């Protein structure tokens, strides 16, 4: 007995997929097709069985009437259960009673693998399952077409953002994730044992992406995981996320960085609307591409707006998530857009590497991009002048000695530069109107979750 026979399965043999489910159309009536996928639904009506076969791109009806198929095919079809892995060779025939106008009558069905009783349903909307249960069974959860679609949209957003940057001369880099020091402040660092020493998981590629401009690259970008030991479970934080960072030299000021971002997102949204049209439709999203230039307001104005809405904040106070939500309600009404740059953050609220403003006392040449009431990007012009950089590190209470690997290269000719970090999961969740960032994270890591 072979291991196939022992498991009640068959080898794939010489079968090769000819079409994905979504490619089978009425045009193919009369043709033979080979499809591979999972049994999405199987309905047994005695002398006839209805199989909905699902693959990565869609699903299609296979009809198995005892009268019209071979005895072997009919016997095999009795073995099919939800999520059985199958290969089906059959002919597309006209079927007026089916919504699509056709069905597939099989000549060959092979069970490539069996599936045990499922812990969660893969068929959409059968029962509302709690997010935690879904995440415990994430691999099955991701098979649901509407869940899968989230990550196909995410892929598209990243793909076309990268495409835009490449067209603008950016070089993709890969920087270390095991690091010696914090870049964004020490509070949310994960410590790791690094042989005899202590190391940390990178919170951001910040220092290294900047240093690459000192190393002679004009423009660099990186799309990679970063780690934040945020202790609180919130709907907008995970402990590992994908940071989309870019950094560009020879800028006139922070405005050049914002221009690059708005054009990149405009390109990425426009292309995603086209290339991920099927997924967006499945998710019920009518993707609104924000027009360029995006609206800009200063931090001080944003504080005024939330104060008018009943808050009582000083200009150096942090805009917390609730304030971001308030602004998210105000912006579309006041400016007709939900994509707004907030600029000139107070120096107290920005990391040591941020360029202080020459025009707005006590402020910085920095920005956040907010989208539908949530921060999705932080960026700014960086300090390229060694003395000022050391001064700012000291002012923030850091020992410049500990940061010598970062600070020293600034002694030897650093170009003016700036850049940003965009949270890929936050961008996805806001674009798709998803409530919890975990749903826009393939395999989320949070306070309580380290598997799957």
Does position 356 interact with ligand AMO (CB under 6 A)? The reply is no
Does position 184 interact with ligand AMO (CB under 6 A)? The reply is yes
CB 289 within 8 A of CB 338: no
Does position 206 interact with ligand AMO (CB under 6 A)? The reply is yes
Does position 152 interact with ligand AMO (CB under 6 A)? The reply is no
Task: Give whichever of 143 and 344 is closer to ligand AMO, judged by the CB atom.
Answer: 344
Span from 174-182, 217-225, 268-276, 370-378 in contact with ligand AMO (CB under 6 A): 370-378
Min separation Cβ 242 and ligand AMO, Å: 8
Span from 102-110, 162-170, 307-315, 372-380 in contact with ligand AMO (CB under 6 A): 372-380
Does position 421 interact with ligand AMO (CB under 6 A)? The reply is yes
Does position 143 interact with ligand AMO (CB under 6 A)? The reply is no
Task: Give whichever of 122 and 352 is closer to ligand AMO, judged by the CB atom.
Answer: 352
Position among 59, 377, 381, 428 found at the interface with ligand AMO (CB under 6 A): 377
Does position 112 interact with ligand AMO (CB under 6 A)? The reply is no
Cβ neighbour number for residue 273 with a 10 Å cutoff? 16
What distances in angstroms separate CA 413 from CA 170, 216, 255, 451, one per listed residue?
A: 21, 10, 23, 46
What distances in angstroms separate CA 269 from CA 155, 278, 283, 365, 399, one per listed residue?
A: 12, 14, 16, 27, 42
DSSP single-letter state for residue 111: E
Query: Token pair 């995970």 is at which residue?
Result: 238
Min separation Cβ 168 and ligand AMO, Å: 17
Does position 175 interact with ligand AMO (CB under 6 A)? The reply is no
Does position 372 interact with ligand AMO (CB under 6 A)? The reply is no
Of 301, 306, 347, the C-alpha closest to 328 is 306
Position among 323, 420, 432, 440 found at the interface with ligand AMO (CB under 6 A): 420
CB 64 within 8 A of CB 77: yes
Min separation Cβ 343 and ligand AMO, Å: 13
Does position 425 interact with ligand AMO (CB under 6 A)? The reply is yes
Does position 204 interact with ligand AMO (CB under 6 A)? The reply is yes
Does position 419 interact with ligand AMO (CB under 6 A)? The reply is yes
Cβ neighbour number for residue 116 with a 10 Å cutoff? 7
**Tokens (6 digits) for 19:** 């079409």
Cβ neighbour number for residue 194 with a 10 Å cutoff? 12
Min separation Cβ 226 and ligand AMO, Å: 7
CB 80 within 8 A of CB 41: no
Does position 439 interact with ligand AMO (CB under 6 A)? The reply is no
Min separation Cβ 144 and ligand AMO, Å: 23
DSSP single-letter state for residue 84: -
Min separation Cβ 426 and ligand AMO, Å: 4
CA distance 415 to 384: 6
CA distance 424 to 435: 15
Number of residues that bind ligand AMO (CB under 6 A): 23
Task: Give whichever of 40 and 350 is closer to ligand AMO, judged by the CB atom.
Answer: 350
In the complex, residue closest to ligand AMO by CB: 423
Does position 373 interact with ligand AMO (CB under 6 A)? The reply is no
Does position 426 interact with ligand AMO (CB under 6 A)? The reply is yes
**Tokens (6 digits) for 272:** 């995603």
CA distance 116 to 83: 8
Min separation Cβ 373 and ligand AMO, Å: 13
Span from 57-65, 383-391, 408-416, 419-427 in contact with ligand AMO (CB under 6 A): 419-427
Min separation Cβ 421 and ligand AMO, Å: 3
Instruction: Measure the CA angle with vertex 350, ends 346 and 354; round to 5°.
Output: 100
Per-residue x/- track, 235-274, ligand AMO (CB under 6 A): --xx--x-x-x-----------------------------
Of 182, 230, 236, 220, the C-alpha closest to 204 is 182
CB 358 within 8 A of CB 247: no
Of 256, 238, 184, the C-alpha closest to 436 is 238
**CB-based contacts of 155, cutoff 8 Å, min separation 6:** none
Position among 63, 161, 378, 428 found at the interface with ligand AMO (CB under 6 A): 378
CB 331 within 8 A of CB 338: yes
CA distance 396 to 350: 10
Of 130, 127, 432, the C-alpha closest to 283 is 432
Min separation Cβ 313 and ligand AMO, Å: 19
Does position 376 interact with ligand AMO (CB under 6 A)? The reply is yes
Does position 375 interact with ligand AMO (CB under 6 A)? The reply is yes
**Tokens (6 digits) for 131:** 């997010």
**Binding positions for ligand AMO, rule: CB under 6 A:** 184, 204, 206, 228, 230, 237-238, 241, 243, 245, 375-380, 419-421, 423, 425-426, 437
């Amino acid at each position: 007995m072979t291991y196939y026979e022992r498991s009640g399965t068959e080898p794939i043999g010489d079968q090769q997929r000819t079409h994905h489910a979504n490619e089978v159309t009425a045009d193919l009536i009369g043709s033979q097709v080979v499809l591979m996928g999972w049994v999405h639904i199987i309905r047994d009506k005695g002398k006839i069985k209805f199989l909905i076969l699902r693959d990565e791109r869609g699903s299609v009806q296979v009809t198995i009437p005892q009268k019209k198929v071979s005895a072997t095919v009919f016997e095999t079809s009795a073995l099919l259960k939800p999520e059985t892995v199958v290969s089906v060779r059959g002919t597309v025939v006209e079927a007026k009673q089916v919504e699509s106008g056709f069905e597939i009558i099989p000549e060959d069905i092979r069970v490539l693998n069996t599936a045990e009783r499922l812990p969660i349903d893969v068929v959409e909307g059968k029962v509302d399952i709690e997010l935690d249960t879904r995440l415990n069974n994430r691999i099955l959860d991701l098979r649901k077409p509407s869940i899968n679609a989230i990550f196909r949209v995410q892929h598209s957003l990243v793909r076309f953002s990268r495409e835009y940057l490449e067209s603008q001369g950016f070089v993709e880099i890969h920087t270390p994730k095991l690091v010696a020091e914090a870049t964004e402040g020490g509070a949310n660092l994960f410590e790791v044992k690094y042989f005899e020493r202590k190391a940390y998981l990178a919170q951001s590629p910040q220092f290294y992406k900047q240093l690459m401009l000192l190393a002679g690259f004009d423009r660099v970008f990186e799309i990679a995981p970063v780690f934040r030991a945020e202790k609180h479970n919130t709907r907008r934080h995970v402990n590992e996320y994908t940071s989309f960072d870019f950094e560009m030299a020879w800028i006139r000021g922070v405005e050049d960085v914002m221009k690059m971002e708005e054009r990149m997102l405009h390109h990425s949204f426009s292309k995603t609307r086209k290339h991920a049209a099927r997924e967006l439709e499945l998710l019920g999203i009518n993707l609104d591409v924000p027009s360029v230039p995006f609206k800009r307001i200063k931090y001080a104005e944003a504080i005024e707006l939330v104060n008018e809405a009943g808050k009582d904040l000083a200009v150096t106070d942090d805009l917390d998530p609730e304030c971001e939500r308030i602004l998210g309600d105000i912006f579309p009404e006041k400016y007709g857009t939900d994509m707004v740059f907030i600029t000139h953050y107070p120096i107290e609220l920005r990391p040591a590497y941020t360029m202080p403003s020459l025009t707005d006392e006590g402020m910085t040449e920095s920005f956040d991009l907010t989208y539908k009431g949530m921060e999705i990007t932080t960026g700014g012009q960086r300090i390229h002048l060694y003395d000022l950089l050391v001064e700012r590190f000291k002012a923030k209470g850091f020992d410049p000695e500990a940061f010598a690997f970062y600070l020293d290269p600034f002694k030897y000719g650093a170009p003016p530069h700036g850049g940003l970090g965009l949270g890929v999961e936050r961008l996805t969740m806001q674009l798709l109107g998803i409530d919890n960032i975990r749903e826009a994270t393939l395999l989320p890591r949070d306070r309580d979750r380290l598997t799957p």
